[in-house]
Chain A
């Protein structure tokens, strides 16, 4: 009897399957995806673009898969000498730039700028890169958005080889990307992408809810609201560093004990739990754990007692400094105010000022690369702490030592690593960007609108 009841239940479940299963599903061609972003991009040049957008129009010699392994892109194969100094990349035959000109070794060599001590030459279908120092990770480096292959016309307009070509460009406002019918990886499913720039986060959120946009960027606050309303969101791996940076040449910043006192006073957990609503992670390291694997070695815990002891050692009337933030960024403001409160508890007076000259500032720096060496190099350039970094560090241990040296100098105090949060419209299918945020929309397709 009991068995019969179970069989009946199973039968009812199975009969219900077709009605509850998702609709049919092989990818569909056609449609224009509307993508909104906060940033205003002025030039149709990948060097000016957020890295996530670059793969829409441009390809590199190689690209990375979801596990960070290199895959062929414009180069089909590559090899190196025993010292990892000379690399040869064999190009994919028959590929053309969007302007119709062929992608050959000479064009690639003319485009690829890898620094003063690197020779790039091309002959036939092979590009040769000769470095002075061993570069075992060169293919992974070349997967970075800054090394895409493009052709610059006489008018300065760039032409890529990617799944979409630039069909229309209104600087800082609006762009239309059209499907590249001859794309070497197969024509994308979408006919095109409409890129709307300089959209306030709140406006993007509203557009998503009203079905006026298919993919939008969400602030932390809007992301929470979107989730509560049942909208589909996507969160990247932590891909932005929020840090407190001391300005050089100003008295407070030139005092190592002062910098250390402020660092010890910061309550990162409060910032993460309250201000960031647990998005991302507290950061004691410059690079997040998923990029290096050793970020856990940098403690992020507050040591208020020690901060108080150090502050007590400063001459009267006690340590003080000014802290600025980007006045258009409410999150930076909240973090700055929280740091001032934390510092006051330790006996340090910090005055928060919007923008302008100050002893410290809140910096929000997108991590452009999942490659730890490149990412560290970028941060060294942004914070002017290049002398503490070792860009030729090719081992994880060497990078750890370089990062440790920078952290222990306290000129840059990591606070947290933030993810990118996107709102995804209900018609969008196959949305699977890389976890660090590269948007490869060649596989994305749109469910037809139901009448």
Chain B
């Protein structure tokens, strides 16, 4: 696996969370594992110029903490309403940042709309890779699926 691509993924997530929620992204430690039932996921298709799917998964607890920072501690019922919006916006921003860094300078790209779910989403078939991080003591994972990024044996293009 290309160390450079690993760094692009880490950088896209780190910049997004640092700018939006002032949160630091660290390498995953064993202590950050959580029950899958506590997680929320968003998935997003990359439509052009390559085909891939991205899935961002994190615990509801971490998502609520991010909402508290961004929206300045809204009421609980408001938090419920904006979870999907926040998770979708996070993934949309991570994907845009990653594609900006990954594709050649002038190459345009097109993304689908984020879909948010409380369950682990079913994703496209194909080579995939998952990157896991620690954010405020909670786990955050980004999975990328598809030959657009990994044409051969999971190696980045």
Question: Is the pairing of A and B real?
Answer: no
